[in-house]
Each structure stands twice: as structure tokens, then as C-alpha cells.
């Protein structure tokens, strides 16, 4: 794969673009290839609902003994919304999420209550019980769900990210995305918020993508809007060489996500809690391609060996898959 001359860099057009031949030589996967070769053949349509509805994903996770944030209550009707406060009296902090939301839409984080019983957001803003109820009503009405259909609201444990992670993020909680094919982890990245991304971990809104070495769990490269960088733009901290705590367990969760959903190609989103360790947050059936830039490696370099391995040894177990990935996809 390395014999091609287009690999040599420094051509005049590289300021603006790379030719298809050059991208191919680097093993970069485009949207069309992802959809036609990996998504469509490996992800049957009927499995999508398992991951598009977080209630179903969490039920599956529980059945498979997977660690995930504890569900305090599910608000399914205006009546539930009316008496949500009585259900949450034991929990000072919690997160409200639309069950079928995507991209962090409609997520409300409550850090605690003030002495007047109002709810406090991480920014310090206070919400009355009525305001929280209105947010719940919006979620039920489908304001944040795909296509605007009716939805349920999920109230769950508020993850307190491990210190190493909060240090490299400007507000917000960083999460780890692991892309899997046939149950083999192929690539991993950490998504950290910046001032520009406003606490959210969405790459095209200006969050950082930080590549993680599958073998060691060390961060290896960071990009901001596709450009490599070494220090956080807002916080003066190095982004490279940070070790993810509990890396073995993180890979274990990712592989279990594949086993429980049956999706061939997926992205597992995982957060690391300071006390509880790694927790499964959600599963994405259409993971994006920015992870390639965060790692500086084309996905095809990882996907093709997995396709071969899967064809040769279809019935490989959980631990062997992780071992294979850690051995072959080390940075």
C-alpha cells in the first residue's frame, strides 16, 4: 500500500485539496463508500430502532450487564411530567434527554438545587420547577426528535467525568467514540468541547477531535476544524499523550455494544465517570468520518483487515477481537 508515489506530500495543490488517487492511497473513506460498503450491507434497517431510541438501547445494555448511567425515571405523559419532582427528590443532580434525540439536542443538565428549590444548570442559571416541566412537555411533543414525532423524556444519572478528561475540555463532558466493524474496534477518538463549540462535543461546531491509540489508550493527535494542534485553544493544556483510565473496560463495552445490537458497523459513545468508571452513553448506527482526521489515518486501512479477518474467522470471541484490534491497529 505504501509503494505508490502519490503518497509523497508537498504538491502545490495540497493547499486546497487532495486528488482522489492520493486519498485512496491514504485509505480515506468517503461518505459514499461508507454508506454503500459498510452501512447498507451490515446494518439492517430494522435494527436502527434499537439505537435510535435510547430507552431500547438502555434496556439492552441492562440485559447484557453493561454499565450505563442509572435511569431515575422516564417521563412518558404530561401526567408524569406534572409529578416529576417527587420522583427526583432523592437526586440532587440529573440529566434530562429526549429518548429519540440526536446530536445533543434537547439535553438539559441539572447540577443541583438552590435554597429556594430551584434547579441549577452547570452555567449557574436557575430554573423553576415549571420551567423544567415545560422543557419536558417540549420533549414529549417531539420538539427535539427526528421528524418531530412524539417522544419520551429520559431522566438519568449525571455523569461526573474523570479529572483527566475535564482538564482537557472547556466546560462540557468529553466522550469517547469508538467505531466498530463486525465487533472489532477499528478507531477511537475523544471529543472535547471548546469555547467555540459552547460546551458541546460536536466536531463541526468547533469541538476538538482527539485520536486515541487502540493498543494503549493514549491520545496521539488532535484536530480542530480539520487542522492538527497540540494544545487546547482555550485551556493551556497539552492534548497528546494522555492516558484514558480503564481503557480495557472501554473496549470491552464497545464490543458488547456490537453484540447486543447486532449492527455490523456502529459507533459506541462512552463516558468515563470519576467513581463509576466507563459508562455506555449511546450507540450510533451512522458514525461520521471525522474520526479519520482525528487519528490521521484512513479508515480503509483498518476496515479492510477486519473484513478479511471476519471472512476467515467468523466465529471469533469477544476477547480475541479486542486482542486482534490492539495488535494490528496500534499507532
Partner 1 sequence: MSTRAKLMVAVVFLVLLGGGIAAYKTLRLGVPFWKGEQVHDWQIEARISFLATGKSLKARLALPAAAVEQKTESESGSLGYHYHIESDLGEYTAVWSAENREESQALYYRVRIPDSTSSGGEPLPATAPEPGNPGFSGSLAEAANAIVNRAKALTSDPDSLFVAIFDQIRNADTSQEFLLVKRHYEKEFKHNAMILMGIDLLEMANVPARIAYGVKLEEDGGSRPPVPLVEYCDGAYWKVRDPMNPGAVLDGHSFFVWHRGGGPLLDVTGGEGSRVVFTVAKERIPMASLADLRHSPLLVSTILGLPLSERAVFRYIVLIPLGAFVVVVLRNIIGIPTLGTFMPVLLALALLEIPLARGLIMFAVLIAAGLWFRFLLSRLNLLVVPRVAACVVIVTLLMMLMSVVSYRMGMSGGVQITLFPMIIIAWTIERMSLIWEEEGKHSALTQVGGSVVVAVLAYLFMKIGQIQYWAFYFPELLLVLLAGILLIGRYTGYRISELIRFKTFAHS
- H/E element, 256: helix 247-261
Using the minimum distance from each CB to partner 1, give the nearer residue, 252 or 282: 282
Please give the residues from 15 up to 74 whose contact with partner 1 meets the rule CB under 8 A: 15-20, 22-23, 26, 28, 30-33, 36-37
Here the cell at position 130 is 415549571
Binding segment (CB under 8 A) for partner 1, from list 112-120, 172-180, 249-257, 293-301: 293-301
286 near partner 1 (CB under 8 A): no
Give the number of other CB atoms < 10 A from CB of residue 170. Answer: 19
Fill in the per-residue mask, 202 to 231: x = in contact with partner 1 (CB under 8 A), - = not in contact. x-xx-----------------x--xxx---
β-pair type (71-75, 153-156):
antiparallel
Residue in 47, 127, 141, 276 binding partner 1, rule: CB under 8 A = 141
- The piece of 48-56, 153-161, 187-195, 197-205 that touches partner 1 (CB under 8 A) is 197-205
Paired residues of 212 in beta bridges: 188, 219
Name which of 22 and 252 has its Cβ closer to partner 1. 22
Asked whether 281 and 95 are in contact (CB, 8 A), the reply is no
Whether the Cβ atoms of residue 205 and residue 320 lie closer than 8 Å to each other: no
Mapped onto helix, strand or coil, the DSSP state of residue 146 is helix
Cell of 118: 430551584
| Contact in structure between 298 and 313 (CB atoms under 8 Å) | no
Among positions 1, 4, 14, 327, the unique one binding partner 1 when judged by CB under 8 A: 14
Axis crossing angle, helix 318-328 with helix 247-261, rounded to the nearest 10: 120
Q: Which is nearer to partner 1, 72 or 265 (CB)?
A: 265
Q: How many residues bind partner 1 (CB under 8 A)?
A: 40
Question: What is the nearest approach in angstroms of partner 1 to the Cβ of residue 296?
Answer: 4
Among 138, 166, 171, 216, the residue binding partner 1 under the rule CB under 8 A is 138
- Residue 198 burial (10 A CB sphere; 0-12, 13-18, 19+): middle
Q: Looking at the chain, how many residues does it have?
A: 331
Q: Which stretch, 59-67, 86-94, 135-143, 233-241, contacts partner 1 (CB under 8 A)?
A: 135-143
Which residues contact partner 1 by CB under 8 A?
9-11, 14-20, 22-23, 26, 28, 30-33, 36-37, 103, 105, 134, 138, 141-143, 148, 202, 204-205, 223, 226-228, 292-293, 296-298
Amino acid at each position: 500500500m505504501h509503494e505508490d508515489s502519490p503518497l509523497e506530500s508537498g504538491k502545490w495543490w495540497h493547499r486546497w485539496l487532495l486528488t482522489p488517487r492520493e486519498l485512496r492511497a491514504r485509505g480515506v473513506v468517503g461518505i459514499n463508500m461508507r454508506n454503500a460498503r459498510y452501512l447498507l450491507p451490515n446494518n439492517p434497517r430494522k435494527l436502527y430502532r434499537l439505537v435510535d431510541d435510547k430507552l431500547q438501547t438502555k434496556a439492552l445494555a441492562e440485559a447484557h450487564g453493561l454499565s450505563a448511567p442509572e435511569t431515575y425515571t422516564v417521563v412518558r405523559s404530561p401526567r408524569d411530567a406534572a409529578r416529576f419532582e417527587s420522583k427526583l427528590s432523592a437526586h440532587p443532580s440529573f440529566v434530562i434527554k429526549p429518548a429519540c434525540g440526536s446530536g445533543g439536542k434537547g439535553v438539559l443538565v441539572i447540577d443541583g438545587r438552590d435554597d429556594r428549590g430551584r434547579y441549577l444548570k452547570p452555567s449557574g442559571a436557575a430554573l423553576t420547577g415549571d420551567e423544567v416541566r415545560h422543557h419536558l412537555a417540549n420533549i414529549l411533543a417531539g420538539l427535539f426528535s427526528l421528524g418531530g414525532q412524539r417522544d419520551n423524556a429520559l431522566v438519568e444519572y449525571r455523569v461526573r467525568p474523570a479529572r483527566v478528561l475535564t482538564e482537557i475540555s472547556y466546560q462540557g463532558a468529553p466522550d469517547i467514540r469508538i467505531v466498530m466493524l463486525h465487533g472489532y474496534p477499528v478507531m477511537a477518538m475523544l471529543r472535547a468541547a471548546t469555547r467555540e463549540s459552547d460546551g458541546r462535543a460536536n466536531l463541526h461546531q468547533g469541538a476538538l477531535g482527539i485520536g486515541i491509540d487502540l493498543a494503549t489508550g493514549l491520545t496521539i493527535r488532535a484536530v480542530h476544524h480539520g487542522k492538527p494542534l497540540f494544545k487546547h485553544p482555550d485551556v493551556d493544556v497539552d492534548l497528546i499523550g494522555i492516558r484514558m483510565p480503564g481503557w480495557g473496560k472501554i473496549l470491552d463495552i464497545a464490543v458488547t455494544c456490537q453484540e447486543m445490537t447486532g449492527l455490523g458497523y456502529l459507533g459506541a459513545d462512552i463516558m468515563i465517570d470519576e467513581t463509576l468508571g466507563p459508562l455506555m452513553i449511546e450507540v450510533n448506527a451512522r458514525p461520521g468520518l471525522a474520526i479519520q482526521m482525528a487519528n490521521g489515518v484512513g479508515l480503509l486501512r483498518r476496515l479492510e483487515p477486519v473484513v478479511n479477518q471476519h471472512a476467515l474467522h467468523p466465529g471469533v470471541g469477544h476477547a480475541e477481537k479486542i486482542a486482534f484490534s490492539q495488535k494490528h491497529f496500534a499507532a
